[in-house]
Amino acid sequence: MAKEPDLFIYNSPADKPAATYLNDLFRMAAENKVPDIHFQWVQGHVHIQLRQDGQLRHFETVEPAMGKMIDTKIRSRATMDLSQHQIPLDGRIGLRYPGLELEVRVSLVPSHNGQKIVCRLLDQENASMSLDRIRMPPLVEHAFREMINEPQGLILVTGPTGSGKTTTLYAALNAINDGTLNICTIEHPVEYVVKGFVQINVTPQLSFALGLRALLRQDPDVILIGEIRDQETAQIAIQAANTGHLVFATLHSNSAAQAVPRIVDLGVDAQTLASVLIGVIAQRLVQTLRTDIEHEWLPINDVERMWLKKNGLPPVTGNIPFAPSKDSFSGKCPIIELIRSDRSVRAAIIGGGGEMAVLNAAARQSQFDTLGQSAVRMVTDGLTTLGRVRTLIKDDSVKPAVRRIGDVLIAQGLITFTQANQAAELQLRCTIEGKVKKFGQALIDLALVSQDDVVNALGYTEGAVEFLNELAATRKINFRALKDTVELWRTERNQESIFDMLIEQNLISKESLYEEVYCADGYGSPAGNSSPLLSTGVAAVAAV
């Protein structure tokens, strides 16, 4: 078989301009990180659009004569039938430039006035992507690495098309690929080719379910499923995860928590899902600010302030980056929401509470931020702008009902997002060293807040209820009165401190309450170290 040429070729001087045009266009698109090129034929003319920043932008209109040659070149290179104009066609193109190798996925559909070709550019450099190169908050990366090193179970990655799901998954596979694992993928289509992986393309004759059943007879250790889209595929994926295989799969949902009811709706038993699920990642790709130029920092405007409020996020104090020009950006990184399947999450799944129950259970995990919280942290760190974030995360996202110490302290203006990150990094360093340091204690150790500040913030969180229940168990507070107060707090007065409510009712004095918190678990007086209870229910990354 003859070797495929590196680029589009011409057969005569007449078609040379078309070959040159396409070679230059695809190179330019790749260098500018354009994921999709659209060619739309309307009455012979070709309207070319490039997808940038998630939006289609007009690039150029080509005359009919050139358009006809472009059609022929793309069809020929993608091995599409040159004579077929009545049915959709799919193909693939490989392009090799000096220092750059591209795989192009081609989709052609006939339209009323002509036809439409969409070319998805797949940079093969991503096939060898290291997990280190995907920017994640420290606690998120630490949690994700622990997840992918589990011997068996199910890991879901969710997000819209173009959100970087495949890149994240292949980075995970590369991280665990030590040469001793049989790693198999089934995708529609295979986007990144990796030496040593068994990779299967879904076709009209080979469905996800059929290919997955075949892979299970190949003694796999790790299986990547390009997408769970039907009941049969979902059932086989769960079966594989439950029988000694580590299964990665993508799913379409708006958030990590929403992935759970979505897969249950496909007919998966909730208890079985809870037993095999390791965790879920939801992500979006946001453009990042260039680091080689200065950017203006301005106070947030009214539209941005309203977006924060609708997403349940506290106001941002201080200035944030502003970048009016698209030339201010270079590259992209993911906004990540990661849920680990711990005891509380499993209980929420089995209980059938749906997205909200899973979200509230996850909201107390140390690595967890909602997409909105994660995005705001990136903005305050100077990585991107709120304008870019708002195009990706709408203002109707589901917000957790659970408040955390970090949430409260930021809302009170006692710490900033950056300071919350500092505490998270300290917490992670302690974790790596085998030590336990809660988020509130990390803030105190960094001299960012006082013990009283943390105890006061605890009163606004579910962690306070856990602590108060312990006091009731030792009869230091009336159990029935506490139960009634907790119910009132949760249903009508959840923006208040439950500690203040109890003090108002004379169920306990402020001095006694604070002393109990300080001394919990034998940590001594207020002059000593603060109790681990000071951080119950805290998320440590950004703590938005």
Query: In the predicted model, what is the mean pLDDT of the chain?
Result: 89
pLDDT value at 533 more than 70: no
Is residue 378 within 8 A of residue 384, CB to CB? The reply is yes
Residue 523: the pLDDT is: 34
Residue 520 binned pLDDT confidence (cut-offs 50, 70, 90): low
- Which pLDDT tens digit goes with each residue over 444-470? 999 999 989 999 999 999 889 989 999
Residue 216 binned pLDDT confidence (cut-offs 50, 70, 90): very high
Q: Measuring CA to CA, how many Å separate 122 from each of 29, 37, 304, 364?
A: 11, 12, 34, 37
Where are the domains positioned within the chain?
A: 16-125, 129-285+331-370, 419-535
- Which pLDDT tens digit goes with each residue over 404-439? 888 899 989 999 888 888 898 898 899 889 888 888
Judged by average pLDDT, the poorest of 158-167, 355-364, 527-536 is 527-536
Residue 274: the pLDDT is: 97
Q: Which residue has the higher pLDDT, 487 or 3?
A: 487
Residue 544: the pLDDT is: 34
Residue 501 tokens read as 């409510």
- Interatomic CA distance for residues 242 and 180, integer angstroms: 21
Does CATH number 3.30.450.90 belong to domain 16-125? yes
Mean pLDDT, rounded, for 136-160 = 96
CATH homologous superfamily of 129-285+331-370 equals P-loop containing nucleotide triphosphate hydrolases (3.40.50.300)
Mean pLDDT, rounded, for 343-356 = 95
Give yes or no on whether 16-125 and 129-285+331-370 have one common fold: no
Residue 539: the pLDDT is: 38
Q: Which contacts qualify for 452-456: CB closer than 8 Å, 24 or more apart?
A: 452/514, 453/409, 453/414, 454/405, 454/409, 454/530, 454/534, 454/535, 455/499, 455/514, 455/517, 455/518, 455/530, 455/534, 456/497, 456/499
- Interatomic CA distance for residues 139 and 135, integer angstroms: 12
Extended beta strands in 172-259, E state:
183-187, 198-201, 222-225, 246-251
For the chain, what percent of residues have pLDDT higher than 70?
Answer: 94
Judged by average pLDDT, the poorest of 11-15, 44-48, 434-438 is 434-438
DSSP secondary structure string for all residues of 441-453:
HHHHHTTSS-HHH
Among 221, 175, 176, smallest CA distance to 198 is for 221
DSSP secondary structure string for all residues of 104-125:
EEEEEEEETTEEEEEEEEEEGG
